[in-house]
């Protein structure tokens, strides 16, 4: 009797496609892959993976198109800018700038905002009202206006960008930390800690703050994309990272007058910003659903 030969199901079959789509919804594979290969690895290993010095160029090689366009060269896979500098190398080092600005701004702004938010929610009363009014003032100040004021006072620099972003971001952490603290402080274990004689500082640090970590991690993840976009905007307007530092916003600004004749100078860094911010937002949404039990899908 002839035996039936089992045939493997092709990858493009409906069941396999449905399985891939389902897994993609459960795990942020694509956003994480984009972030790892487009942001993290270039930022950490920039000197090793960049093919050229991002600050050195040759006017004889200026405005070379990408390798896939007519006249392109494998020596400059993404082309060169108007100073003859390699675009790929500048984008790689620009990822380092964006990641460093994001981490430092989140650390400074998040630390200040979380501390004030926990204090505000724990003690309440006039102190709570005062801190919340400061939060409202901070959230009402336009970031661009604040950047222009600081730049006119101390000049554009790496520290100025971090200061501006931290002054904007701390209020968001303060408001979120206060809201969570108002809920946590009413729990029974906080009352038992008070009865046991724990100090206010110990209660806030040992019992309240650990219950805020998940929310703060999600908020920080979502804020990375916003910070990268804000830093790029400030650099584009000339009040952020100063030239010739290879920041993505600076690269977009450098090519705005060449958008017709040399579209890649502005277009490719802009696409990089878009993919990074979109991936961070998708990953942040997944992380929020994963860490918040109330939002988990059964």
**Preceding omega of 244 cis (within 30 degrees of 0):** yes
Centre a 10 Å sphere on the Cβ of residue 5 and count the other Cβ atoms it contains: 5
Quickly tell me which residue has 């701004």 as its tokens: 105
d(CA 183, CA 179): 7
**What is the structure's pLDDT at 226?**
83
Residues 69-80: tens digit of each pLDDT: 887 788 888 888
Query: Does pLDDT of 152 surpass 80?
Result: no
Q: For residues 71 and 64, is the Cβ–Cβ distance under 8 A?
A: yes
Domain that holds residue 232: 85-295
CA distances from 283 to 42, 97, 242, 280, 298 (A): 19, 21, 30, 5, 20
Give the SS3 label for residue 172: helix
Tens digit of each residue's pLDDT (9 = 90 or more) over 41-85 = 888 888 888 888 888 878 888 888 888 888 778 888 888 888 888
Q: Is residue 148 part of a domain?
A: yes
Inter-residue contact 135 to 169 (CB < 8 Å): no
- Would 130 be classed as within a structural domain? yes
pLDDT at 41: 87
Give whole-number Cα distances, 259 to 25, 72, 84, 255, in Å: 37, 17, 16, 6
Tell me the mean pLDDT in the region 194-213.
86
d(CA 242, CA 98): 13
pTM strictly above 0.85: no
Mean pLDDT of 248-258: 83
Number of domains, the chain: 1
pLDDT band at 4 (very low <50, low <70, confident <90, very high): very low
Mean pLDDT of 139-155: 79
Is 32 domain-assigned? no
Q: Which band of pLDDT confidence, cut at 50, 70 and 90, is reported for residue 112?
A: very high
Task: Provide the mean pLDDT of the chain.
Answer: 81
**Taking residues 205-219, what's their average pLDDT?**
86
Query: In this predicted structure, what is the pLDDT of residue 32?
Result: 85
- CATH of residue 174's domain is 1.10.3720.10
- Checking if the pLDDT of 193 tops 50, the result is yes
Place of tokens 């650990």: 210
Question: Exposed (0-12), middle (13-18) or buried (19+): which is 195, by Cβ within 10 Å?
Answer: exposed
The top-scoring range by mean pLDDT among 124-133, 151-160, 244-253 is 124-133
pLDDT of residue 115: 92
Tell me, what's the pLDDT at 246?
Answer: 85
Per DSSP (E only), the strands in 129-285 are none
Q: Is residue 227 part of a domain?
A: yes
35 is a domain residue: no
DSSP state of 76: B
Q: Is residue 41 part of a domain?
A: no
Query: Has residue 102 been placed in a domain?
Result: yes
Residue 13 lies in a domain: no
């Amino acid at each position: 009797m002839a035996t039936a030969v089992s045939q493997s199901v092709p990858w493009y079959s409906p069941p396999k496609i449905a399985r891939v789509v389902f897994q993609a919804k459960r795990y942020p594979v694509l956003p994480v892959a984009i972030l790892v290969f487009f942001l993290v690895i270039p930022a950490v290993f920039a000197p090793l993976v960049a093919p050229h010095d991002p600050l050195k160029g040759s006017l004889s090689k200026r405005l070379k198109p990408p390798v896939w366009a007519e006249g392109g060269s494998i020596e400059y896979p993404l082309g060169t800018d108007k100073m003859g500098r390699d675009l790929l190398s500048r984008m790689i080092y620009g990822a380092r700038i964006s990641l460093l600005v994001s981490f430092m701004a989140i650390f400074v702004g998040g630390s200040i905002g979380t501390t004030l938010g926990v204090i505000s929610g724990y003690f309440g009363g006039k102190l709570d009202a005062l801190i919340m009014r400061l939060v409202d003032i901070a959230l009402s100040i336009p970031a661009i206006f604040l950047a222009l004021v600081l730049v006119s006072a101390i000049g554009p620099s790496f520290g100025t960008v971090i200061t501006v972003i931290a002054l904007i971001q701390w209020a968001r952490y303060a408001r979120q930390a206060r809201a969570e603290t108002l809920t946590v402080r009413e729990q029974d274990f906080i009352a038992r800690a008070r009865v046991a004689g724990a100090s206010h500082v110990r209660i806030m640090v040992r019992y309240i703050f650990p219950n805020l970590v998940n929310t703060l991690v999600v908020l920080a993840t979502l804020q990375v994309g916003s910070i990268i976009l804000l830093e790029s905007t400030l650099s584009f307007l000339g009040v952020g990272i100063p030239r010739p530092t290879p920041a993505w916003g600076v690269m977009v600004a450098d090519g705005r007058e060449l958008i017709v004749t040399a579209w890649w100078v502005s277009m490719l860094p802009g696409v990089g910003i878009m993919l990074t911010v979109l991936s961070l937002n998708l990953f942040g949404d997944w992380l929020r659903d994963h860490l918040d039990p109330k939002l988990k899908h059964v």
